[in-house]
Structure 1
Amino acid sequence: MDNDICVWGTDVYTDDSSICKAAIHAGTLGNNGGLVTVKKTAGLSSYSGSTRNGVTTRDDGSWPGSFVFYNASRPQTPKTTNTPTQKPPVQGTCSTTAKDLQESIALVHCPSGCMVNGSNVWGTDVYTDDSSICKAAIHAGTLSNNGGLVTVKKTTGQSSYIGSTKNGVKTRNYGSWPGSFVFYNTSRPQIPKTTNTPTQKLPGSFFYV
C-alpha cells in the first residue's frame, strides 16, 4: 500500500479517493489485489475518516461525488465479524430498522409489499439507522417488492443525508444523525439494471493496490 495516495471517508468515499486503497480499507479486497465493483453515488456534505485493515482514511467536508463498493465478490481478507451468514437471518417487517438489529452486520429477511407498507427512509445508498431497512433495500436496487434477504451493515452517522427517487421509492433529505446503515456485500439484486452491471466490461487496471 502506498501511503501517499489519499482516501477520504469510511464505507462511502470521495470520488477522488484511490479505489484500490479504499477497497482494502473497506475489507472488500486484500493487499494482493483483485476485482471490486464500484458504484458512483451522490456527494455528501462531510466524510469521516477511520483506520481499518491497515489503512487510515481522512475526514473531509462537502464533496460533489462519492463511491461505494457494490455487490463485490467475497473479500480476500475476510474477518469472522464480516460473516453474518453464520447466524440465522433476522425475520424483519416492513418497519424494521437498523436500530432494531443486535449485530453490526446482520442478514435480514424482508417480507413482500414494503414499497407501500414500509415506513420512512432518509438518504441515498447510506441511510439513517431509523429508516425502514426493507423499503431502503428496494430504493437501493438490492431487493424487489417481493422481498428476500439483504445484508445490512451499521456505519457511522453522517452530517447530512440526501433523498432521491429510485425504483419506485422516494426517500427524504435529513441533517445530522448519529447512526447509518448500508447494504453490505449482498447477492445479485433481484431487479438489476444494465447500468449496475459493470462486470459486462473488462475490469480497469490500477497501479496501486
Structure 2
Amino acid sequence: MTHFLSYADRLRAGPLKKQSVVFPNKIDTASDQSPSQPSSNYVTHNISKSSDIHYRHLRDHILGDGANVNQSNSSFVLTSDAETSESLTGYRDKVGQTFSFMITGNSQGSIWGTDIYTDDSHLAVAAVHAGAVKTGETKSVTVKILPGELSYQASICNDIISSSYGAWEGSYSFVGVPITAAIIIPDLQTYRDKVGQSFSFMITGSIQGSVWGTDIYTDDSNVAVAAVHAGVVENGETKMIGIKILPGRSIYQGTTQNGITSAWYDIWEGSYSFITSTTNIATDESPLVLNTHEQ
C-alpha cells in the first residue's frame, strides 16, 4: 500500500544521498566570544555555523525567532547584545529597515530564492550566493528586510544552489550588491499543464540536490542534478538541454549513475525526462520551445 506524501513531507528526506529521515539539531547557542564594539549607526551580529535544515514546515519551531533588536528611529538599528543567528524571521516587524551583520561566508546551509531570499534562509550562505561575500571571507554585509513574496526562484550562483519556494511570510535582500547573473533552475512543477511538450533550458550540472527516479524523474527533482544523473551534462558543465514534460507515475526507481544516487518514490503528480539526441528533438511530436519563462 502506498501513501501520498506532500512535497513538504518529502523534504524530510534531506539532501541527496540521505537515505533516512533526518531531524536536525537546534541551531548553535550564542557564541561565548565578545564581538568588537559596533559603531553607533549599525547592528553587528556574529553568524554561527550549524546543521542544515532539511524540512521547512517545522522550521519556525527549529529556528526560533532570530536575534533580538532594540527599537531605533534610524534605518540602522543598534543592539547591545549581539547574538548568533542564521535566520532573520525575528525581523519581520522591521520591513523597510536596513541592518548590518558581521558574517563569515559559508557554503553549507539551506537557502530559498535569488536576490530576494526567504527570511529563514541561512544568511551566510545567501550572502555567498548573492555575491556579497566569498566562502570563508569575514566582512560586514548590509541586509534590507522585505515583506513576504508569493514565490522564490531557485538558481545556481557563485557555486551555491538555492531552492525555489512558494508563498512565505518574510524576505530579505542584500544592499549594495549587483543583481546576480544567476542561472535560474526551472521549477518544472509549474509545467504540469504542458504534458507532452518539450522545452530547452540552460543548465549547469551539479551534484548538490535531491532527485527521484531514473530516466524519468519526479518534476520536483533538481534539474541540474538529474541532468548529471542522466548523463546529459557533467558536473560544472553549462549547456542547453531539452526536457520533455510527462504525466505523473505510480513508481520512480532510484539508481546510482554518474556519481549521483537518485531515490525511489511512489505516486507523484508530474514527471520529466531529458531529450538526449538531436533526432529525438527534431521528431518529437511537440516542438522544442525555448524557455522564456523567467523563474
TM-score of the pair, normalised by structure 2: 0.29
Query: Which of the pair has the greater relative contact order for Cα pairs under 8 Å at 6+ separation?
Result: 1
